[in-house]
Structure 1
Amino acid sequence: MPVTRRQVGATGAQTVTLSFAGFNRAWAAWITDRLERHGVTVVQQRWDPPVELPLEDALRDLTLSRGRILVLLSDWYFQLGPRSHEEWNRALREVVVPDPDRFAAVTITTSALPGATSAFGAADLTNVGADEAERRLLVHLGLPADPLPEDAAAPPGPRYPADTPEVWGGVPRRNTRFTGREALLTDTYQALQEAGTGAGVVTLHGMSGVGKTQLAAEYVYRFGSDYDVVWWVPADRRALYRQKLAELAPELGLATGAEYGERLRAVRDSLRRGDPHAHWLLVLDGADEPDQIWDLVPTGPGHVLITSRNPEWSEHNSNLVEVPVYRRDESVAFIRRRAPRLTRTEADQLADALEDLPLLLDQTAGWLNDSDMSVEEYIELLSGGIDQDVVKVSADFPLAFQTAWSILLNKLRDTVPESVDLLRLCSFFAPGSIPVRLLKEMPSGELPEQLSGLMNDPLLWNKAIGQLRQYSVVRLESHESVVDEASSGESLYLHRMVHQIVRKDMPDHDRQEFIDVVRRALAAADPGRPTDTRLWPRYAEITPHLKWADVLRSTDTAVQTLVLNCLRYMYLSGEYRAGIKLGARAMTAWRELLGENHARVFDLSYNYANLLRAVGDYAGTEAIERAAVNHLRTERGPQDLEHLRAAGGLAADLRGLGRYEEAQELSSWILTSYRELLGEQDSRTLSAQNNLGTSMRLLGRYEEALELNRRTLEARRQLLRPRHGWTLYSEVNYATDLRLLGRYHEAQSVQAQSARVHRIVMGQDNPQTLRAEHNLALCQYRAGERNKAAVLFTRVLERGERVLGENDPLTMMFAASQSFFAREHADIDQARAISEKVVGGYVDMLGEEHPYVAGSRANHALILRNVGERQQAHHLLEEALIDMGRSVGESHPWTLGCAINASAVRNLVGDVESAVNLTDSVVTRATEVLGRTHPLTLSARIAHAADLRGIRDRQRAEKVETEALDDLVATLGAQHAHTVSARSRNRPYWDFEPQMI
């Protein structure tokens, strides 16, 4: 170190003022930490002098600071303003050169800096590791460079800025022209730091084009050293968001398989626990529909940063930080950095004309700098003073944007016309992330000549992308990419405003040609197996683009197959709402395009009906399926495979409508037909066997259902892989049948294992996983493990309401269980509130005559009984008993259960003779239907003993009770909750459980 330099502390002074550009905040934090560990007091002073202040005065003001002044030299330090190198050289010569002892500097850039910076004699921290950088810093300031002893109690300091976090993915490249926004960055940082554990969520909210994404990216680069994990996720579509979040699993080193659901579950659990990393930052970009993804926002010790046009995020435990357009001084600084040839006055005029909208400033200043057009001429164009075609888009876009885009598009056409072709191709994908690799993967023979050259010539491709990037029309998605990699890279990002205006401004002949290319690219990307959960991420990537490529108007069979496969994927993955929208549009389009009775229309109607049935629209699906059945039977005959498939859908509709006998007859005939046509082991035969088992269960024929589902499960385990979704579905059915037969421990053993695999393979929020966990809760409850059941009942209901909605058939099934559990073991007021919603929901969905309405009213009557409303309970139960008997028959287990409850209330209101006659009849019928030792029969026997005591027939009561208790001990065990309750002479009750159809 030169002897003329004053060492820090040489005269007792232990203070350094660190002057840095905000862009280099991470370096400032690291340098501050290193110096403070060596006993130096550091005062940070962000360098951003007002534009109107001469540089000489700004530097003189800096000398008023305490102690030695350490300047952090970077491109950004000298670009703020912006100021020319000539200005800087004059100021440095005037202020720094005469007083070298006050100044020291370190440099963190390899770019050319103003020549007079040599006066600093800066230490170079570039291209060295953390230890060497610290040594150079200390030596430069005259401090001992010996390593400090390790202090295990000391908190870890900031990460060395040249080192990225241990896990880093998806983050856009840093915008080296980022300007201003210092207050917004500070507000965001403080909001996240001050939030409690699990509440660190901030949403950057503002209109399109204000730079929310750029602000989030700058936050990542400026504060990323605070985190061990930084993961950027596009969040404009739920399916894509889930896919990208699942991709974090291997980066976190989580031991998972390749299954989509397993990875997603593991990631969310890891973030929640903060293991292996507690300091994580997740950025959700473009999350404009909170209701679609808010339930998937991770909680835990880390932070979540969201960009959105939707202020409703404030209703989901997120702090809102509003992002406005640029302040005028920010606009001027940005324009002058983007277009150095413009004066400050010209930049101010341009900013005023473009309404300070960052996206528009970026695009316009970029090409204006390359043009010889004056700002005055450009503003005249914007105001319409020169004849031109102005693209009209929508009222929510600033007029200046629409006009400016017309000018920019003409510029692109004149320079690199291929860039316009590429841009137009991209506009037939969904806005946001554009998977251009799908275009690159197409065989060259399938491309029109105009586009074949663009796709097959890497130089032309890169030139087109380079032109679009130069004018900020697109950006490369990965921060790791370089332009040369774009030819094989993953995707480009196209802003929503640009996307919409490009689609609008396109000749008709180009529109048809380009849209056909995108359709074929999407069809070629179809994995072809929507039932394979391992391929769901690929379908999640494809489905958002179907609408924009207008695939429903295509007559290409490959494109039509893609639509059907995507609908199947949406059904299996639980994306019901999106699937129903697509299915409804497809039905209208294909009927018009292909005709009412085209084979593709029947394929479509089958998949569309599955989605409608999943949300409980059984009457609607019956109309669709019955029309298909009638037509196909007439045209092709009853043994036609398409007819059998439609008939299977109709049987499911009949089950949903409560017409179980009809459904069973139809299901039985379908199974026989499949066996004759395809044999026992065909997957369609097994599906028909599964459906017949469901019909048998709904009829109360549990032994027959168990045998059918056992055979189906064994065959699917052999024919399909054990973790296939259909195999798992059969496991739930088999465990359900075991439980309904009173074989609780067997059922719980099967279901516990199956629920675990469901979470891994399907994902914890998949409807089938929710059903598996609900059945596990019922198994736990019936087996007497009430604490475990309580937790699981609540968790499943909460997730069902979030993921599926309160009126979904599955959610209502979960709510019914939560209600009857709460009635006996939790909060009677909660039970009543939930029960009222369940009854009303089933009436609205299914009508007054449906057995689920009778069953849910029977459950509600027990709540009324418990709160002392005996007459109302009696009236409601008698009605439920009559309605249930009319719906499913006098000997159905549901009717017998209603009768057990009705007899109890008859006793309460003094009708004891009627009660004993009723339970006597129930015991006889239950024994015939279910057997002497079935739990329902045992409950009826215990209830009958209580009724006999009510009429003072103690001898018969003692005999019936003793025999029933002996059977309870033999069947369930002496310590089972039902046995203990019966021994204590607590009258048994029955809970109606809605079943899947």
Structure 2
Amino acid sequence: MDGVPDRIVISHTGKDRDWAQWARWHLEAAGYRTELDSVDRVPGTNVVEAMHRALSRDNPLLVLLSAEYLGSDEFATDEWTARFAQRRRDPAARLIPLRVENVDLSDGIWAPIVVADVFDLTPDRATAALLDAVRRAVDAGPPEPLSVVPPQYPGRAEVSAGTDGPRPVKPLPVVWNLARRNTAFTGRDGMLDRLRDALSNGSRVAVQALYGMGGVGKTQLALEYAHRFADDYDLVWWIPSEQPELIADHLAALAQDEQLRLVPPDTPTPQAVKALRDHLRRVGRWLLIFDNAEDREDLFPWLPDGPGHLLITSRNPNWTGIAEAVDVDVFARAESVALLRTHLPHLAEADADRLADALGDLPLGVGQAVDLLAETGMPVQDYLDDLAAHTAELMSEGRPPAGYPVSLAATVTLTADHLCDTAQAAGQLLYMCAQLGSETIPIDLFTASPELLPEPLNTTVRRPLAFRRVLGQLGRHGLARLTTSGPVLHRLVQAVLRDTDPNSAMHLSTVENLLAAAGPDDATHPKWWPRWTALLPHILAVNPATTENRDLCSAATGAIWHLLARGDAQMALPLAEFLHQSWIAKHGPDDLIVLNISESLAAAHTALGNYRQAYELDQDMFVRRRGLYGADSPLTLNAARNLAIDLSDLGELGQAQELNEDTLARSRRVLGDDHPDTLTSASHLAADLSQLGEFERARELDEDTLARRRRVLGDDHPDTLTSASNLAVDFTQLGEFEGARELDEDTLARRRRVLGDDHPGTLTSASNLAVDFFRLGEFEGARELDEDTLARRRRVLGDDHPDTLTSAGNLALDLEALDRADDARVLRRRFKVKS
């Protein structure tokens, strides 16, 4: 049909989905092609890319305006503001706004635009208004509508005087016992739409179980679903299910309801339930909601058959064989911020984000914060400080938000008390998990050292199936989310449990011992990085700065070495500084714990190019260790190696060489020629020789060290790769550019595989290989590699790190060699590097 656009994009929010489907049907029937995200964008679609494609074509944008649409819906806002921007550049960009509810457009950006209404009309008049608006926008005459049944008109139909008029399609079902709709309900549109799709997929009985921890809003989600899609049903009934023995009475009440009247009011419960089941088996368009069910075995006998829908809310994730389990997690951050700013309109977005983060986006916690802040006018920072110090007390304050029977603190403590009363081992595990971080807790943290645990948990963890059942108890009570790697507890739940734990000191002590035992001896080898990564948040959670457990202090120091080994000095430095200051005040400067953390702190400064700070720490530590343990102690020799690195970095190459030669001789005598520490001394001495111009001596020492490291440590050990990289530099200095290139290419490939693309060691190899390309006249290859390395070093190390400046200088040389002198000057000026 001439004049018909490629397609009309329908922009709407989740709450207005019925309107969108109604508009889509009538437009398609009238010959227009449409795009509707909830239908045309299948799971896995990149929504942002799909929106960009839709709006970049010559497609009219049909906007369904409602209070929700003009409120906080992020993607809807993106769509209409993008079209307004297009209209400013090109007035032919077509926008078709329709009001689907009575929202005020008299002020703001919509005021000068003609907007048609389609609400509170008869279905025919609404359809005519829709098609008229589209015709005027696209100037096309559509054919006759298709001869199929359209969707019901989503609005409240206007009743003409003197006629019965059409039956309104949005009243509540006649058989209905639900609570009033929660007007403060926020977000969850995507989940509600997916829930409706799942229940309407044609199954004989569609059953969905909404599960999650207490306070995530399972009940509120079920209530909103029932209200939002009420016109899909003729019967909707809410059945409290926390007490299984009362479920039959609730079902009997439905059978005896005065609108349904399946049985007389005095009918015995068994006969009433049977009559109800028989009725539901024969009819459709019904929804039963079993709220707060605890156990599938208790609920299963009461679930009816028939072509209706069943919703279950529960803390228990296990509904295998009964229902499709749907994990209800915390709010998305945008949903938390929207709820906070809706009810606290003067709250800055940054403060709302800070609040949401501290509350872990838990709906009940966010709701309680809204109530307390609205009531008291308390400054955000004061609230956050109080939350950190007195979580349980604060989470008990004020009224719980609408739809929640009790506060978060009461929810957590009552559930924990019940768990401890019924399953002692599970209670012990729960309170220990509360002492740890809010990330996944490795299961083997407990199973690897059962002797450290109290009874009965000690005995339980020795039996894998029994321990898994104990973990299942935490999930079943909604106190933890279970993953294949271990349980995850919400931070607010943990804080409330810590505040109310009657044996907090004992549980903390046990957890400290478990963490101390769990850390691998080697904190630097890549094979142990995943283990240290998993342990790090839990080591930090128990606050090693204040602990009396010296083994935990060693584990914390190991975690810092892990961060340094994987190239994350930015994170390692502030942690090492904090522990260093705390432990000096607690133990004094000569304590072994303090000397060990001093060593890691100095290494962090070295990695970040803070050479003077590293030197001062290493110099002090070398003197102290030599005085405490003697010149030949392995601890003192290690301090000497670190001090020699600092001297070299500061340009004191002669002193560095002298100290490294002495340290290497002592290490060979004390530790042996092939000890890893001895080989580290040899590697450092070779680097000094290279910088002093003694390239042949450096090459000989590096070749010997590389051979020994390959034999002792293996070809892919990070220290072996360091030796290979150093030897390649020796080749370059000696003019053996092809040999350097071959070794650098192999080392770079190995470092990328072992350490990752952005590791500082990998970037060193990339930089060295670019130098090889340059020396061989392959300037374009050098430029490409130097550009990539500079970008990565800026991101990983920062603009002012010496290695970043080296890359900038090398790239400038590449550009000059490619006759791009102007670009080279700009680069040198940007990074203040000389030619």
Structure 2 unpaired stretches of 5+: 1-28, 30-37, 45-146, 156-168, 177-199, 210-221, 227-235, 239-250, 261-274, 286-322, 341-349, 373-386, 401-405
1:74 to 191, 206, 210: 206
1:526 to 494, 515, 519: 519
* 1:466 CA displacement: 5.7
Once the two structures are superposed, the pairs formed by residues 662-811 of structure 1 within 5 Å of their partners are 662-811=655-804
Which amino acid is 1:392 matched to? H
* 1:469 CA displacement: 3.6
* 1:709 CA displacement: 1.3
| Matches of 2:795 and 2:473, distance apart in 1 | 44
Instruction: Verify: 1:475 aligned to 2:478, yes or no.
Output: no
Once the two structures are superposed, the pairs formed by residues 335-414 of structure 1 within 5 Å of their partners are 392-393=390-391, 399-400=397-398, 404-412=407-415, 414=417
Which amino acid is 1:75 matched to? V
Does the residue aligned with 1:205 lie in a helix, a strand or coil?
Answer: helix
Seen in structure 2, the aligned counterparts of structure 1 residues 420 and 628 have a Cα distance that, compared at 3 Å, is same
Once the two structures are superposed, the pairs formed by residues 147-162 of structure 1 within 5 Å of their partners are none
* 1:206 CA displacement: 4.2
Residues 819 and 835, structure 1, Cα contact 8 Å, conserved in 2: yes
Seen in structure 2, the aligned counterparts of structure 1 residues 664 and 355 have a Cα distance that, compared at 3 Å, is closer
For residue 160 of structure 2, what is the aligned residue in structure 1?
none
RMSD: 5.0
Which amino acid is 1:573 matched to? R
For residue 83 of structure 1, what is the aligned residue in structure 2?
237
Seen in structure 2, the aligned counterparts of structure 1 residues 808 and 472 have a Cα distance that, compared at 3 Å, is farther
Residues 567 and 582, structure 1, Cα contact 8 Å, conserved in 2: yes
TM-score normalised by the chain length of structure 2: 0.56
* 1:71 CA displacement: 5.1
| Matches of 1:452 and 1:834, distance apart in 2 | 63
Seen in structure 2, the aligned counterparts of structure 1 residues 28 and 51 have a Cα distance that, compared at 3 Å, is farther
Does the residue aligned with 2:436 lie in a helix, a strand or coil?
Answer: coil
Which amino acid is 2:603 matched to? N
| Matches of 2:737 and 2:806, distance apart in 1 | 20
| Matches of 1:771 and 1:352, distance apart in 2 | 51
Seen in structure 2, the aligned counterparts of structure 1 residues 50 and 658 have a Cα distance that, compared at 3 Å, is farther
| Matches of 2:148 and 2:691, distance apart in 1 | 77
Residues 208-261 of structure 1: CA distance to partner in whole angstroms, max 9, x if unpaired?
Answer: 9989xxxxxxxxxxxxxxxxxxxxxxxxxxxxxxxxxxxxxxxxxxxxxxxxxx
For residue 54 of structure 1, what is the aligned residue in structure 2?
174
For residue 623 of structure 2, what is the aligned residue in structure 1?
630
Residues 391 and 504, structure 1, Cα contact 8 Å, conserved in 2: no
Instruction: Verify: 1:439 aligned to 2:571, yes or no.
Output: no
Seen in structure 2, the aligned counterparts of structure 1 residues 70 and 582 have a Cα distance that, compared at 3 Å, is closer
2:334 to 193, 198, 205: 205
For residue 503 of structure 1, what is the aligned residue in structure 2?
498
Once the two structures are superposed, the pairs formed by residues 125-144 of structure 1 within 5 Å of their partners are none
Residues 337 and 356, structure 2, Cα contact 8 Å, conserved in 1: no
Seen in structure 2, the aligned counterparts of structure 1 residues 784 and 742 have a Cα distance that, compared at 3 Å, is same
Residues 268-316 of structure 1: CA distance to partner in whole angstroms, max 9, x if unpaired?
Answer: xxxxxxxxxxxxxxxxxxxxx9xxxxxxxxxxxxxxxxxx97999xxxx
| Matches of 1:639 and 1:516, distance apart in 2 | 37
| Matches of 1:550 and 1:514, distance apart in 2 | 14
Seen in structure 2, the aligned counterparts of structure 1 residues 75 and 596 have a Cα distance that, compared at 3 Å, is same
Seen in structure 2, the aligned counterparts of structure 1 residues 120 and 412 have a Cα distance that, compared at 3 Å, is closer
Does the residue aligned with 2:540 lie in a helix, a strand or coil?
Answer: coil
| Matches of 1:672 and 1:324, distance apart in 2 | 59
* 1:576 CA displacement: 0.9
Structure 1 unpaired stretches of 5+: 1-14, 16-23, 31-39, 57-68, 95-111, 123-172, 185-202, 212-288, 290-307, 313-322, 332-349, 358-388, 479-489, 840-855, 860-997
| Matches of 2:442 and 2:327, distance apart in 1 | 26
Does the residue aligned with 2:429 lie in a helix, a strand or coil?
Answer: helix
Which amino acid is 1:74 matched to? A
Seen in structure 2, the aligned counterparts of structure 1 residues 28 and 662 have a Cα distance that, compared at 3 Å, is closer
For residue 813 of structure 1, what is the aligned residue in structure 2?
806
Residues 89 and 116, structure 1, Cα contact 8 Å, conserved in 2: no
Does the residue aligned with 2:391 lie in a helix, a strand or coil?
Answer: coil
For these two proteins, the number of residue pairs brought into alignment is: 546
Residues 31-73 of structure 1: CA distance to partner in whole angstroms, max 9, x if unpaired?
Answer: xxxxxxxxx99989999986834369xxxxxxxxxxxx99554
Once the two structures are superposed, the pairs formed by residues 159-174 of structure 1 within 5 Å of their partners are none
Which amino acid is 2:279 matched to? A
Seen in structure 2, the aligned counterparts of structure 1 residues 311 and 474 have a Cα distance that, compared at 3 Å, is closer
| Matches of 1:625 and 1:90, distance apart in 2 | 83
Once the two structures are superposed, the pairs formed by residues 527-566 of structure 1 within 5 Å of their partners are 527-566=520-559
Residues 612 and 621, structure 1, Cα contact 8 Å, conserved in 2: yes
Seen in structure 2, the aligned counterparts of structure 1 residues 813 and 463 have a Cα distance that, compared at 3 Å, is same
| Matches of 2:175 and 2:492, distance apart in 1 | 39
For residue 192 of structure 2, what is the aligned residue in structure 1?
none
Residues 547-595 of structure 1: CA distance to partner in whole angstroms, max 9, x if unpaired?
Answer: 1122344454533332332222211111212222222222223323433
Seen in structure 2, the aligned counterparts of structure 1 residues 709 and 113 have a Cα distance that, compared at 3 Å, is farther
Residues 412 and 479, structure 2, Cα contact 8 Å, conserved in 1: no
* 1:757 CA displacement: 1.1
Seen in structure 2, the aligned counterparts of structure 1 residues 555 and 41 have a Cα distance that, compared at 3 Å, is farther
For residue 119 of structure 1, what is the aligned residue in structure 2?
282
| Matches of 2:254 and 2:559, distance apart in 1 | 60
| Matches of 2:576 and 2:334, distance apart in 1 | 33
Seen in structure 2, the aligned counterparts of structure 1 residues 745 and 605 have a Cα distance that, compared at 3 Å, is same
Does the residue aligned with 1:545 lie in a helix, a strand or coil?
Answer: helix
Once the two structures are superposed, the pairs formed by residues 164-243 of structure 1 within 5 Å of their partners are 176=326, 205-207=334-336
Residues 532 and 562, structure 2, Cα contact 8 Å, conserved in 1: yes
Residues 416 and 464, structure 1, Cα contact 8 Å, conserved in 2: no
* 1:452 CA displacement: 4.0
For residue 491 of structure 1, what is the aligned residue in structure 2?
486
Does the residue aligned with 1:771 lie in a helix, a strand or coil?
Answer: helix
* 1:677 CA displacement: 2.6
| Matches of 1:684 and 1:711, distance apart in 2 | 15
For residue 433 of structure 2, what is the aligned residue in structure 1?
426
Seen in structure 2, the aligned counterparts of structure 1 residues 394 and 119 have a Cα distance that, compared at 3 Å, is closer
Seen in structure 2, the aligned counterparts of structure 1 residues 659 and 452 have a Cα distance that, compared at 3 Å, is same
| Matches of 2:339 and 2:370, distance apart in 1 | 11
Residues 396 and 410, structure 2, Cα contact 8 Å, conserved in 1: no
Seen in structure 2, the aligned counterparts of structure 1 residues 88 and 432 have a Cα distance that, compared at 3 Å, is farther
Seen in structure 2, the aligned counterparts of structure 1 residues 569 and 518 have a Cα distance that, compared at 3 Å, is same
Residues 755 and 772, structure 1, Cα contact 8 Å, conserved in 2: yes
| Matches of 1:661 and 1:772, distance apart in 2 | 26
Does the residue aligned with 1:551 lie in a helix, a strand or coil?
Answer: coil
Instruction: Verify: 1:602 aligned to 2:595, yes or no.
Output: yes
* 1:635 CA displacement: 3.8
Which amino acid is 1:83 matched to? W
| Matches of 1:826 and 1:45, distance apart in 2 | 70
Seen in structure 2, the aligned counterparts of structure 1 residues 810 and 517 have a Cα distance that, compared at 3 Å, is farther
1:659 to 630, 633, 652: 652
Does the residue aligned with 2:481 lie in a helix, a strand or coil?
Answer: strand
TM-score normalised by the chain length of structure 1: 0.48
| Matches of 2:667 and 2:648, distance apart in 1 | 20
Does the residue aligned with 1:75 lie in a helix, a strand or coil?
Answer: strand
Does the residue aligned with 2:407 lie in a helix, a strand or coil?
Answer: helix
Residues 734-769 of structure 1: CA distance to partner in whole angstroms, max 9, x if unpaired?
Answer: 111211222111100111111111111111121111
Does the residue aligned with 1:536 lie in a helix, a strand or coil?
Answer: helix
Residues 679-724 of structure 1: CA distance to partner in whole angstroms, max 9, x if unpaired?
Answer: 3222222111100111122223323222221221111111211111
Does the residue aligned with 2:488 lie in a helix, a strand or coil?
Answer: strand
